[in-house]
Amino acid sequence: MWWIILWILSFILLVILHELWHFTAAKKSWVHVKEFWLWLPPKITTLWKDKSWTEYTLNWIPLWGFVSLKWEDWTNEKENKDKDSFVRAKMWKKLIIVLAWVAMNFFTAWVIFTIALSIWMKPMSILPDDVQWIHSESYFMPSMSFIKELWFLSWSVEEHSVEISQVISWSIAEWLGFSSWTVILDINWESINSTSLTETLDKLENTENNTIKFKIWEEGEEYETSFSCWSPCKLWIVYQQYWNFEALPIKYWFGQAMIASAKEIRAERNLTMASLWMIGKKLFSFKSWESKEVLNSLTWPVGIVKLWESLWEYAWFLTFLWFVWMLSIALWIFNVLPIPALDGWRFWAIIIQKVFRIKEEKFSIVEGWVNTVFFRFLMLVWILIILKDLAVWWGLHIPFFS
């Protein structure tokens, strides 16, 4: 139960810290902050009101939080003409208000990672090198080859046969008759192991002669089976990736830890961007199976809570902080993308309005409509992901999700 409480408190803290820097920058720029929301309306209560008439409110929907500036109500033309309106602020002040939290997010992450790496840190998980779309140099979630280069493995990695531990329902593997404890020996007469399976199947995808022959070992017998691969050539099985290794604690002296911390932030940026690129690529491929795969891979915040439950026995306080701030960095990177309703969009909208000398009042109305539409769309996606995670958690079946 403590891990749920700890996660809720951490999520609230992330929201408050994110919005606090918008709030502080606005106050310092003499832009009136009308309301500081914790979570989304409808409102439960007003917690208090300060001397500048800023309301601090608690709301019912526990999704996020917002700082409402004098400008957010873009239908109020009279209010937007006031000197303390965001519309009337100088361009450089607007840009600082929009992105003030980025610098603080970066600095806090750097401090936390430096402390963790100078005391004691252990990877949360190790990514196999056959994940083709990313080579991770994160200390928290490294690729196998990267952690080997750093000598943070207890002993050498041994390749082994692909022994299936689980077969996903309605998969190619199930159609082929594979089951738990089936061992795949070779594909198209080429020996394979746990590190080469995915790479071998990827090479056979969309080839002219794409009939794939398997030699397998099952119940004391060896036999062959085959199928004609369609895109993608994925078996949808769970198998042990590696045997005979253990990740060692990572520890540097303080100066090295400061450098490693900066590298960690860069690595997490690369990991997040690679993930976003892969998600976008699959969503816009217009292939139903890829869209389904993406939707099933998205999770937040229920799935993160479930992940934290599985991590709880393994993690200690610094690992917990690292994990929370890793999510914070991922949200920071996502939030600076030029997507309406996000801070990245607001940043570029300010520049576009200034460069093309569009009247602020008219521009704010158009932008207000765009932000409203996209905000509702993002909230809808968020709610669908939460419902999907709850369904998976409780073992329910929802069409298009697994």
Residue 190: inside a domain:
no
Cis before 301? omega within 30 = yes
Could you tell me where the beta strands, DSSP code E, fall in 128-203? 162-167, 183-187, 190-191
Per residue in 148-193, pLDDT (tens digit) is: 888 887 766 666 778 887 776 667 787 888 887 889 989 888 888 8
**196 located within any domain:** no
Domain for residue 114, yes or no? yes
Domain for residue 395, yes or no? yes
Query: How many residues make up the chain in this entry?
Result: 402
Q: What is the DSSP letter of 247?
A: B
pLDDT at 360: 77
Tally the domains of the chain: 1
pLDDT tens-digit readout, 63-112:
778 888 887 766 677 777 788 888 888 999 999 999 888 888 888 889 98
C-beta separation of 186 from 192 below 8 A: yes
In a domain, 126, yes or no: no
Measured distance CA(226)–CA(178) in Å, rounded: 12
The span from the CA of 180 to the CA of 226, in Å, is 18
pLDDT in tens, 5-62: 777 777 788 888 888 888 999 999 999 999 998 887 888 999 999 888 899 999 887 7
- Written as six digits, the tokens of 47 are 């917690």
With 70 as the cut, is the pLDDT of residue 3 above it?
Answer: no
Say yes or no to pLDDT of 292 above 90: no
The span from the CA of 44 to the CA of 154, in Å, is 53
Its domain, for residue 29, covers: 1-121+251-402
Under DSSP, the state recorded for 49 is: E
161 inside domain: no
- Count of C-beta atoms within a 10 Å radius of residue 259: 12
Q: Tens of pLDDT along 319-376?
A: 777 888 888 888 888 888 899 988 999 899 999 988 998 887 778 788 888 988 998 8
Q: Report yes or no: 67 and 297 within 8 Å, Cβ to Cβ.
A: no
Regarding pTM above 0.85, the answer is no
Report yes or no on 362 lying in a domain. yes
Whether residue 177 lies inside any domain: the answer is no
